[in-house]
Chain A
């Protein structure tokens, strides 16, 4: 158990819909990261927040957005969903803003878009 929690575990929805994925980082960690893992693209970095502020952006689509709240939990919002958005979405956390040391990954949310 990494200490990072993600909800829901599974999500099945239809094209065009909007969903919200939630992540709670490990106690004491200020950075939250979102990654997408699909069969054809592998693990892709989406976005990082540190202490409520956006820190880095990766291959995140404009239809996707995220935020980190004052209690440090984070939400990833996916809208106008397409079949290709079906993937595993992982959240990770770390203590600081940089990559020194470990990132701790949650169990993931499996999104299926029908």
Chain B
């Protein structure tokens, strides 16, 4: 599974847009990129998943450049409740593979008032 690198921590203020970039230089052709959010003592929560270009849902956008060696999670207008750890995961998905998730250290986002 491809190794990911993301900042250990980030600070932001309420109402700002936050962009968290993840580097995955060894991403394989059949790898997807998935982001999870985790609050203290809670299980991770799926945010968004993509393969290429841009994916948007009701909570976030995921930007993936053409070479797919990095990806950026964009959180619009963050609030205090977005303070959490954000994990970038890269893995092969398909009928011949498993759902095994490899979590790195994640990015701790601190949103300040």
Contact = CB atoms under 8 A, between A and B. Distances in A.
A43 interface: yes
Contact of B49 (A31, A35, A43, A102): A102
Nearest to A32: B99
A98 B93 contact: yes
B44 A33 contact: no
Contacts, number: 83
Given A88-B41, A98-B98, A99-B101, A104 B46 contact: yes
Interface residues of B, number: 27
Nearest to A33: B99
A55 interface: yes
For the residues of B in contact with A, the DSSP-based class is: loop
A4 B43 CA distance: 10
Given A45-B100, A55-B98, A56-B100, A105 B43 contact: yes
Given A56-B99, A58-B100, A101 B41 contact: no
A107 B93 contact: no
Given A100-B32, A101-B49, A92 B43 contact: yes
A99 B43 contact: no
Interface in A52-106: 55-56, 58, 88, 90, 92, 94, 96-106
A94 B43 contact: no
**Could you say which interface size class chain A belongs to?**
20 to 34
A42 interface: yes
Interface in B92-113: 92-106
B95 A98 contact: yes
Nearest to A93: B99
B102 A45 contact: yes
Contacts of B46: 102-104
Given A56-B99, A58-B100, A98-B99, A107 B94 contact: no
Interface of B: 32, 34, 38, 41-46, 49, 87, 91-106
Interface of A: 2, 4, 31, 33, 35, 42-45, 48, 55-56, 58, 88, 90, 92, 94, 96-108, 110
Given A96-B95, A110-B41, 8 more contacts: A42-B104, A42-B105, A94-B99, A97-B95, A97-B99, A103-B99, A105-B42, A108-B43
